[in-house]
Amino acid sequence: HGLTVPMNLLFGSPDAWPVKVIPFAVNVVQYPVPSGARCFALGQAIRRAIESYDAPLKVQIWGTGGMSHQLQGPRAGLINKEWDNKFLDRLIAEPAELAKVPHIEYVREAGSEGIELVMWLIARGAMADVAGTGPAPHVAHRFFHVPASNTAVGHLILENQ
């Protein structure tokens, strides 16, 4: 759903997507889940691969995953708005430091499913400022909401300048 839901919102339900898509499945369900640092490094590697391509490309890199939420156990229904918004702030301003946050902090502050946020670091690792080839990204859109589904939802669109 991290790919198909946004694609359906953008394009409806066509027989085929009108753009080329390369999905990356990131395990955030079974141990061992990747660290934020590993996801951040994957984003950097994706950027290098794109830059090595011979033809000019227009590329979007999405990092998807629910924000704070826990679906089971005594903390079911957990939402941490403050932590989620701080995560967005740090993703923009200090992604390399954010990549060092250990799994236990995600679980403690954002719930057992909040570990999904490490996937956002893949997209952030691919940005020009991380590669040292541009200034901090432009924040084109930022949104945070807690719908009735007990999963905090955030949108962040960053553009290289």
Per-residue DSSP letter, 34:
P
155 counts as catalytic? no
Structure tokens at 32: 């061992």
What's the Cα-to-Cα distance from 143 to each of 48, 122, 154, rounded to whole Å? 29, 19, 5
**Cα–Cα dist 130/121, whole Å:** 11
What SS3 state is found at 146?
Answer: coil
141 counts as catalytic? no
Q: Please identify every residue annotated as catalytic.
A: 1, 69
